[in-house]
Amino acid sequence: MAQVGAVRVLNLLKLSPEEARGIELSARRGNPRSQAILGIMYSDGLGKPQDESEGLRWLRKAASKKDDVAADRLGVAYQQGLGVEKNGAEARVWYRRSAHDGNLHAQYSLATMYFNGQGGAQDLSKAAKWFQIAAQQGDPMSQEILGRMYQNGKGVVRDPKQALYWFQRAAEQGYSPAELSLAMLYLGGQGVERHPEQALELLQRVAEGGVLGAQYTLGLVYWRGEVVPRDPTQAWKWLKIAAMNGSYDAPQLLNKISKAMDEGQRTEALKATNEWLQEHAQAVNVALK
């Protein structure tokens, strides 16, 4: 499904010639959404020969009539330099117009630009404002970032309960970074009640999905033995997988654990790791030797 930001406008990849002609006719008659779609078609070469200049012309026509999809797409163009020279300040202008009209992708993008200081000065309070608006519309990325802002007191007053709330909302949608953030909050219990069993369950699920941070943390949990009984085999397995996925810290701890294991434990750990790798080829594309 073709998308402009979070707005599904049409399955442009499967657009029939008749549908393409209908969109163009509607655009020429002045329909702003059709103009926005036609602009995307030209910009991306979907149903039309790729022509970024013609795409921008139609997007500007639609945006002048307050079409939020067109304004958002112009923000993308200026942010990434698609058919125009990169201009962060101009990207902010178009994202802001689209965001005020309720476009979720524009709200997230504007918040991110404020957060990172792209296209102008960093403004964490404005970033929090737009992440909050996007989060309230159900965007899991905004929910997770907003949770971290509340957790760390960036752009908002520190509030662990609000952090918990937004991590939970994003995790409910299966968003892995939020599941990891929620697990860490449950483990630490900073300002909220600790839930080590739920933390372990979340870590296990996210680690199985290939998330590096969860794999490393799960290895630590099994090694420290505070949440579950110490299990050097599981600790070694998850830290080895994390190391293969690029963890900077895992190799040093792996070496320490290896020295503490006997030969039988090392053999068991290697076997468990290879079995996991064979079952999760997409998570790690390298086999242990």
Model confidence at 286: pLDDT above 90: no
Residue pair 147/153 in contact (Cβ under 8 Å)? The answer is: no
**At residue 241, does pLDDT exceed 90?**
yes
Statement: residue 8 has pLDDT above 70: no
- Please give the average per-residue pLDDT across 53-70, as a whole number: 97
Contact at 8 Å (CB) between 114 and 124? yes
* Mean pLDDT for all residues in the chain: 91
> What is the percentage of the chain residues whose pLDDT exceeds 70?
92
Options 1.10.600.10, 3.30.750.24, 1.25.40.10, 2.30.30.700; CATH for 1-121 is 1.25.40.10
Confidence of residue 2 (pLDDT cuts 50, 70, 90): very low
Give the pLDDT score at 10.
54
pLDDT given for residue 13 in this prediction: 64
Q: Lowest-pLDDT range, 100-104, 273-277, 283-287?
A: 283-287
Beta bridge partner(s), residue 3: 8
What are the domain boundaries of the chain?
Answer: 1-121, 123-194, 219-289
- Residue 158, pLDDT score: 96
Contact 40, 46 (CB under 8 A): yes
> pLDDT category, 282, cuts 50, 70, 90?
low
Lowest mean pLDDT among 39-48, 106-115, 187-196, 255-264: 187-196
User: Model confidence at 4, in pLDDT bands (50, 70, 90)?
Assistant: very low
Model pLDDT, residue 211: 92
Question: What is the pLDDT at residue 200?
Answer: 93
| In contact, 39 and 74? CB cutoff 8 Å | no
Structure confidence at residue 12 (pLDDT): 66
- C-beta atoms surrounding 246 within 10 Å: 8
Q: How far is CA 45 from CA 25, 54, 55, 59, in A?
A: 18, 11, 9, 14
Token pair belonging to 194:
């600790």
Would you place residue 284 in the very low, low, confident or very high pLDDT band (cuts 50, 70, 90)? Answer: low
Q: Extract the tokens encoding 155.
A: 């752009």
Question: What pLDDT band is residue 47 in, cutting at 50, 70 and 90?
Answer: confident
| 123-194 and 1-121 share a CATH fold | yes
Residues recorded for the chain: 289
Query: Would you give the DSSP letter of residue 6?
Result: T
163-194 tens-digit pLDDT: 999 999 999 999 999 999 999 999 988 888 88
Q: What is the CATH number of domain 123-194?
A: 1.25.40.10
Which pLDDT band holds residue 289 (cuts at 50, 70, 90)? very low
**DSSP per-residue codes, 22-64:** HHHHHHHTT-HHHHHHHHHHHHHTSSS---HHHHHHHHHHHHT
Is the pLDDT confidence value at 201 over 90? yes
